[in-house]
Structure 1
Amino acid sequence: MTILLVDDNQVNLFVIEKILKGAGYDNCVSLTSAHALFDYLNLDDENSKTNSVDLILLDIMMPEIDGIQACRRIQQVERLKHIPIIFVTALEDSSKLVEALDAGGTDYVTKPINKVELLARMRVALRLKAEIDWHTEHEKKIQTELDLATHVQQNLLSPPLREKDIQMEVSYYPSFKLAGDMYYWHKIDEHRYGIILFDMMGHGISASLVCMFISSVLREAIKSLVDPEQVITELNRYMELLHSEKDEIPYYFTAIYLVIDTEAKTVEYVNAGHPEGYMLVDEHTLVPLQRGSCPVGFFEEMDVQKSVVSFENDVQILLFTDGALESMGPCENESALRLQKTY
């Protein structure tokens, strides 16, 4: 444990250091100015690692840079702002003490130093520092886990597809690191492609975990069942496995699943409670992908209705989640109309 003592008066430093060492605080570093404090903390080097400091006892009245100014400088540095600072002062001006605390000070003691009071206030400040350090370390571990989970989730997303008869492109901008939106496509055979876009209820960790659970069964469901009605029904069965009697709110997701047949020139699809996508058929007919069932996971048994659209030459398909509509304005209906006109 390292405690910095900052005072331009050597006698004051000697008295405080003697009190601290008598209480078992052996690693005390005495500094005689704010400049010496800044040098010790490597204040001006943004990339520098801070010398381990657990507490600063800082005199207010010092030449050139006083304690309050020094505290403000320290508070501006992210890696230093959580070091507790106890002001040591002979001032009795309450407005000055308030200014010191507003500058970022944790506490203060007055001169002449009362040994019992100083040690008590130090213990409180050090407990606070220990709690902050624990939470900071805990947050770092959580962030590391979130980064790993984000990497895993993004690796589950399908890459762009560019083949002779079909091209697929995607823009993916989750509002949180871990998202509840997923997409996937699979080449079923030489001429058929299965494509799904789904949006899990909620955001963040819980939505992403359920999302990854569903994505783990998507490939087999699309490969073995193919038909949109059967695939959505199978995904609903998997969602029911997550439910229990204790769940007040069921897990569910909206989805659009399509099977594009480039030889038969058809698009079969099911819209399960998802925002309508659009198909531009043969460059002149705009077909909305209307909803044909409730969201997946709402009910144990769901009525799934498939639609089929035929084309002669080509078809362009635009799919999106509600996040795209929300980003365009507060009214989803107006946003959908704007998107439709643009498309």
Structure 2
Amino acid sequence: MVSSRNNFKLLKREAESADKILSIESVDDDVLELADSFDIKAINPFFSKKKSVMDIVVKDSKLLQESDVVKKPPARKSTILEAKKEKSELWTGGPVITEEVNRPFYLRGVVKLLIIVGLATILGWVAVYILPRATIELTLEKINWDFSGSMIVSSSRETPSFTDNAVELPGVIFNEGKNLTKSYGASGSEYVERKARGKITVYNEYSSEPQVLVQNTRFATPDGKIYRTDAKVTVPGAKIVDGKIVSSNTEVAISADKVGEEYNVGSIPKFRIPGFQGSPKYEVFYGISTSPMTGGFVGEVKVPTEDDIVKAKEDLRSSLEGALKTIIFLGIPTDMKVLDKAYEFSVTKEEINKEVDASGNF
């Protein structure tokens, strides 16, 4: 149709002779331009949202004959001139109105889209399964750098500093403390005479005045065994509550008056003070033991030698140092470097008890 302007001229003439309104829809710009040059209404369906409707109105009440319809020459694929008759009605005494709806054909666009999708799929498959692939492995080489100079690590420095003969780095100080007690076997022996020892609680039910007990004050058991205070003590005064005396007390360390195992006794319900005998204080000053008196002995016993003590100290220091290092290193963040020998260990207090227990350990 586009090949000749005469086609448009013929269409317009036939439409005017048949008293019809002619409208053309096309996506081809050439068709639209030719139609416009002949004053024929032409629209592009892609840029119009309205449905194109062509009304044919006949002046008399007779139905249109086939000869009254303009026979249109074959059109190009881009031009839509065919119409499907949707509905016709015969009105008695009135004109016949026939409504025809033109529907565009989008075959060309669909074909292009399918071709593009197909090519993209093929190219993707070729890139994944056919094109050669390469695996690249990077191996880092470690090169040692020899440095001769001093390295200073300081907790007061925030950023590192480098010079030709010195390196200063920021550091963190970790402190940890721990107490450790261990027993060691005694390899020596000696003849000893030891007194039994223990503790008692001394009560004052006499008055609100405190009572001083000098060192070596005697306390007697019900069966007459004598124990003496190891040091001077003061028993606080009793309290007066609602007119009644409420006893006060203090703990006192005592030792047997004589050596030997016979002074190793269990708890005693009441110790008396022989020095108060014959006075009102005798019944109201007394002592009670809740734990036994122990240690009384005469004969050969195990004792630690000087070599035992030296070895015990070395082992104890080593064990304590290892325990502290474990605690500290477990608490150091993984991104921090601990320099070799960049730590200090010291023992702040050391006590050796040379008394040997029943198992021969000190």
Larger strand percent: 2
- Name the TM-score, length of structure 1 as normaliser: 0.17
Larger Rg: 2
| Higher RCO structure (Cα 8 Å, ≥6 apart) | 2
